Structure 1
Amino acid sequence: MKVLVLAGTKDAGEIAVKLKSEDIEVIASVTTDYGRHLLSHIGGVCIHVGKLDKDGMIKLVREKEVMCIVDASHPYASQASENAIKASDECSIPYIRFERMEVGVCMDEAIRVKSFEEAAKRASSISGNIFLTVGSNNIHVFTKNIPDYKSRLYARVLPDSKVLLKCEEAGLMPDNIIALKGPFSKDMNVAMLKHCNASILVTKESGEAGGTLEKLEAAIELGVKVIIVDRPNVAYGTKVSEVNEVVEFLKRLRGV
């Protein structure tokens, strides 16, 4: 049995290991060389590197004779999920979404927004420095909507040359970029918020594995305002939050 795993989170590695232990053949799709690196320790996994649109996903499914798509892409990679859902429909194979649970946010004053553009505009309207922890794909949204971003916006991103290029193309200077790889403890987040003299933290609801809780705890300790970009609303269909649920779903599909 062959399964295509959209591997946009570190949970995808755990899923691949579990599936291999059940003699399920895994084809993992990642968008970057860094994504490939995260899976390189798992033997026997076929890794496809590069972004896949719907047609590319259909082609891969048919060429590899995939029997199911396991969507473990990032919670904010909605386009990838929508492409996978359409590809599974056209190829008449099952689709299952794995997504880690959201962190229960116990902050009455947290500002919840529906988009990165809304987050940028809200942050721009609040005085003080901004600590941005939403990844690199939407940096340009913030530099476009925050007129004085060069003097008050600090972005924490992965220390990857392509990511740094995105930051530079969006207009950020080296002083505005904190290039570090997590996970980050609460104390590390406190130190970085202090380093930036931040009054505002902008983050995504990436769940416990994404370090959301540690960021919120740091903000609470320092009295920093928090803007949270909610997850996209996608009609996933079958959705689970535990790796074992993925395994059980595929075992039933295989008739075990």
Structure 2
Amino acid sequence: MTARVLLLGGTGDALAIARTLGSQHVYSLAGLGRVPADLACAVRVGGFGGPQGLARFLADEGIALVFDATHPYAAQISANAARACEAAHVLYWALRRAPWQPQPGDDWRMVGDWAGVSEAIAPFARPLFTLGREPLAHLDEVPPQQHWTIRCLDAHPGHARARVIDARGPFTPEGERALFTEARIDVVVSKNSGGAATEAKLAVARDMSLPVVMMRRPPLPGAQRELASAREAIEAIDHAIQRSFNA
């Protein structure tokens, strides 16, 4: 029997990898967002119960390789995966796409957490948040002088001083410029996710001379092998499957 892969996903890169996996492999989603309907592999939704629960799952299901293609800011998931793989003596590989780098003309204000975000956007009136769901937990904190535009994957009610847009990349420069203009955005708040799907907002912010409040990436655990793109990951996983992880 071919050794099994557990793909930890939820990103566009992960979905591209999942579409190449056969029925014996497992694609794991935390439960947020839409579950793909066009995959040959099994799809598992929900947590594992921490590193101990994941280690039990790996042993029970005969998993030989865990490939971590979660978001660069999903630090807890990655830490749990690394610990579980070590305990279960299972290979742990990860996709670690390169972060964005500031370009000439960029005005990035680096912060480390939500408190830093709040302080950095205080002088502005109409921020655009592209942090996922995190700003939704702070809707009752919108100052009277501000109006927030929040873009995330899932629909959510806003209120008089906060508009929530459910949208999924890739985003185009034309679309981003239209949004910035229509919503009168004066500062962009972003995670340094890397990749091309959501990079257009940075180019438009640069062209419009808008500052970007950028959240630093959290430290992530090391992996036995790190890949920089979905294409590299697909080739490496396919090669490993063909050799049944015996190399």
Q: How do residues 1-256 of structure 1 correspond to structure 2 at under 5 angstroms?
A: 1-20=3-22, 25-32=24-31, 34-37=33-36, 40-43=37-40, 45-52=41-48, 53-106=50-103, 107-124=105-122, 126-141=123-138, 144=141, 146-148=142-144, 151-160=146-155, 164=156, 172-173=159-160, 176-212=163-199, 214-237=200-223, 238-241=225-228, 242-243=232-233, 244-248=235-239, 254-255=245-246
Q: What's the CA shift for 1:246? A: 4.2
Q: What's the CA shift for 1:28? A: 1.0
Q: What's the CA shift for 1:138? A: 4.2
CA RMSD, Structure 1 to Structure 2 (Å): 2.5
Q: What's the CA shift for 1:207? A: 1.5
Q: Please give the secondary structure, in 2, of the residue aligned with 1:104.
A: coil
Q: What's the CA shift for 1:108? A: 4.5
Contact residue 120 and residue 141 of structure 1 kept, 8 A = no
The Cα offsets for residues 182-236 of structure 1, whole Å up to 9 and x where unpaired, read as 3210111111111221111001112124412x00111112221111112111122
- Which structure shows the bigger proportion of residues in helix conformation? 1
Q: What's the CA shift for 1:247? A: 3.9
Q: What's the CA shift for 1:141? A: 4.8
Q: What's the CA shift for 1:62? A: 1.9
Q: Please give the secondary structure, in 2, of the residue aligned with 1:255.
A: coil
Q: What's the CA shift for 1:35? A: 4.3
Contact residue 129 and residue 200 of structure 1 kept, 8 A = yes
Contact residue 64 and residue 245 of structure 2 kept, 8 A = no
Q: What's the CA shift for 1:88? A: 0.6
Structure 1 CA distance, aligned partners of 2:162 and 2:125?
A: 16
Q: Please give the secondary structure, in 1, of the residue aligned with 2:97.
A: coil
Structure 1 CA distance, aligned partners of 2:34 and 2:240?
A: 25
Unaligned runs of 5+ in 2: none
Q: What's the CA shift for 1:120? A: 2.4
Unaligned runs of 5+ in 1: none
Structure 2 CA distance, aligned partners of 1:36 and 1:9?
A: 12
Q: Please give the secondary structure, in 2, of the residue aligned with 1:95.
A: strand
Q: How many residues align?
A: 238
- Letter paired with 1:152: H
- Letter paired with 1:4: L
Structure 2 CA distance, aligned partners of 1:8 and 1:96?
A: 16
Deviates more, 1:135-144 or 1:106-115: 135-144
Structure 1 pair 104/156, CA: closer, same or farther in 2 (3 Å)?
same
Q: What's the CA shift for 1:65? A: 1.2
Q: What's the CA shift for 1:51? A: 2.4
- Among all aligned residue pairs of Structure 1 and Structure 2, give the percentage whose two residues are the same amino acid: 22
The Cα offsets for residues 119-139 of structure 1, whole Å up to 9 and x where unpaired, read as 222112x23211111111343
Structure 1 pair 96/173, CA: closer, same or farther in 2 (3 Å)?
farther
